[in-house]
Each structure stands twice: as C-alpha cells, then as structure tokens.
C-alpha cells in the first residue's frame, strides 16, 4: 500500500486531504509541524512513498523540512503546497529539493493527479523485476545520467537526483553547446513566467556541479556564461 505523509497545520485541509487520499486507497498519516515530519522521515528505515508538505508551518517551515530530508539522503517524492502568487516560494521549494508544487487553494483532483505523476516516476525507480518501458540514459565524458532511475553516475559514485535536478540537466543537455538564460530555464524547466529572482537556479547549478565536475570550482561541463546564464558541454576536450 502506498503511504503518504501529509504535513499541514490547517486541520480542515489536512482532514480533507486524508479523507480523499484514503478513498483512493492510500495509507495516510498527518502531522502538523515540520519537527514531527522530520521525526518520521529522517530515520533510515522511514517507509513513506510520498510527501505532501505545506510551506507555512509553525516552527520549521516546509523549506527547512525538505532541505533536511534531502541532506539526509532521503529521496522520497515531495510535493509542496505554496501560497498563490509567490513564485519565489516555488523556486525556493525546488531549490530546497521539492519535486513538484501546487499553489493554494487547489482542486483536490489536481493534487491527486500530481501525486499519481510523482508516484509513477518513483515506481519506475523501485521496480526491480521489469525494466521501465524505455531506457532513458545520457552518457558523456564517462558520466551517465539515468533519467528513469533519477541517478547520475560519475567518478565511481552514484548520485540520486531530484526530479527537478534531472529536468534541469535534460534541458541543458538538449541545448548542448549553447548558452541558455536563467529566465529561459525558469520558464522551460519550472514553468515560472513571472519576473522573479533567478538565484535559485544558481543553487541548482552549484549542486549539479558537485555531482558532475571533477573540480566543482573549475567547471568544464557546466559553464557560467557571464551576464547570460549557463552552457553545457558534453565533451569539453582536453
Ligand atoms: Ca500552513
């Protein structure tokens, strides 16, 4: 059975979510604070399949929670509930490690559709018997990205990727050799069109460099294009 953890301090909203998700066959647990969520998520044997995380919580907020979860190496699919009209929340959520977001107020049917999407992605990664429908790999300079498993192999190590890290890599790879602007990345990868702070993009690039580059401070694959954005080079030559 799929276990969903809902972190939401608005009781009526949490109850509504629980009722509807249980009706769809999910096993649901609700907590009201970030601290309670971390107590359930951080143990290595934590057994939740999906996380629905409100941003505005008493005590630790949703950004702090997802950030700690990711730092602990837990790659549970996470959807954040953000306040409408706050694109900076959306970006901060993704930069902290969220996989998807939904602005409040939302339709329940939209939420369950998003959760199905996240779960589908996760089931590809955990299915050991049958391979995913289509292999989806990209290999460059001795590194391999597995877009189904959300993993990057480099220097003999395997780095788990969040969905958004994988989406950003895919976008950069698709434009291999060309400069892409931060604004274009925001629009195409995150679907954020408002004029907003693009710094979260830089945080993503810093993380991706730690996975990809031999020397993250002297990148050869993920290059900064001053005053513009970034450029991906699969094979920078010697
Ligand atoms: Ca709240």
Summarised one tens digit per residue, pLDDT across range 77-117 is 999 998 766 777 888 888 888 888 888 888 888 898 888 88
Residue 57 CA to ligand 1 center (angstroms) comes to 5
How many angstroms does the Cα of residue 68 sit away from the middle of ligand 1?
Answer: 19
- How many Å apart are CA 133 and CA 69, to the nearest integer? 30
Residue 51 above 90 pLDDT?
Answer: yes
CA 30 to CA 52: how far, in whole Å?
10
Judge contact between 173 and 232, C-beta under 8 A.
yes
- DSSP 8-class letter at 205: H
User: Kindly report the CA angle at 206 between 209 and 119, in degrees rounded to 5?
Assistant: 85
pLDDT at 37 over 90: yes
Q: Residue 132: is its pLDDT beyond 50?
A: no
**Is 64:98 a contact under the CB 8 Å cutoff?**
no
Q: How far is the CA of 85 from the centre of ligand 1 (A)?
A: 16
Can you count the helices (H) and strands (E) in the chain? 8, 12
CA distances from 143 to 153, 158, 198, 212 (A): 6, 10, 28, 7
What is the tens place of the pLDDT at every residue in 133-156? 567 899 999 999 998 888 999 999
Delimit the CATH 3.40.50.2300 region(s) of the chain: 3-125
On average, the pLDDT of the chain sits at 87
Give distance in angstroms: CA of 32 to centre of ligand 1. Answer: 8
26 near 4, Cβ under 8 Å? yes
Interval between CA 29 and ligand 1 midpoint (Å):
16
Enumerate the H helices of the chain as residue ranges: 11-23, 34-41, 62-71, 87-96, 108-126, 163-174, 182-185, 199-212
Distance in angstroms (rounded) separating the CA atoms of residues 32 and 150: 30
Instruction: Give residue 82 CA to ligand 1 midpoint distance, Å.
Output: 9
Please give the pLDDT value at position 139. Answer: 93
Cα of 163 from ligand 1 centre, angstroms: 24
Q: How far is the CA of 56 from the centre of ligand 1 (A)?
A: 4
- List the CATH code of the domain at 3-125: 3.40.50.2300
- Tokens 């941003």: give the residue: 55
User: How confident is residue 130, by pLDDT bands cut at 50, 70 and 90?
Assistant: very low
Q: How far is the CA of 8 from the centre of ligand 1 (A)?
A: 6
Q: How many residues does the chain have?
A: 238
The answer as to CATH 3.30.1330.10 being correct for domain 137-232 is no
| Ligand 1 centroid, distance to 64 Cα (angstroms) | 14
CA angle 137, 169, 165 (to 5 degrees): 105
Task: Judge whether residue 45 has pLDDT over 90.
Answer: no
Distance 7 CA to ligand 1 centre (A): 9
Worst-scoring range by mean pLDDT, 94-103, 169-178, 203-212? 94-103
| 204 Cα to the center of ligand 1, angstroms | 26
Query: How confident is the model at residue 202, as a pLDDT?
Result: 87
Q: For residue 30, what pLDDT band results from cuts at 50, 70 and 90?
A: very high
User: From ligand 1's centre to the CA of 86, what distance in Å?
Assistant: 15
């Amino acid at each position: 059975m799929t276990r969903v953890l809902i972190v939401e301090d608005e009781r009526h909203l949490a109850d509504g979510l629980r009722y509807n998700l249980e009706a769809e066959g999910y096993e649901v647990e609700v907590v009201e604070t970030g601290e309670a969520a971390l107590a359930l998520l951080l143990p290595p044997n934590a057994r939740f399949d999906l996380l629905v995380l409100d941003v505005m919580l008493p005590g630790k907020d949703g950004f702090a929670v997802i950030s700690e979860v990711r730092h602990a190496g837990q790659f549970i699919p996470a959807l954040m509930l953000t306040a409408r009209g706050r694109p900076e929340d959306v970006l901060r959520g993704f930069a902290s490690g969220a996989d998807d977001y939904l602005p409040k107020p939302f339709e329940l049917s939209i939420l369950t559709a998003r959760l199905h999407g996240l779960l589908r992605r996760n089931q590809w990664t955990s299915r050991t018997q049958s391979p995913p429908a289509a292999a989806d790999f990209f290999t460059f300079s001795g590194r391999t990205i597995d877009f189904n498993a959300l993993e990057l192999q480099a220097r003999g190590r395997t780095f788990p990727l969040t969905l958004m890290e994988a989406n950003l890599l895919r976008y950069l790879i698709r434009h291999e050799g060309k400069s892409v602007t931060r604004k274009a990345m925001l629009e195409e990868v995150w679907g954020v069109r408002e004029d907003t702070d693009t710094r979260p993009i830089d945080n993503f690039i810093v993380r991706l460099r730690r996975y990809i580059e031999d020397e993250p401070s002297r990148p050869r694959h993920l290059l900064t294009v001053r005053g513009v954005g970034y450029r991906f080079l699969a094979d920078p030559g010697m």
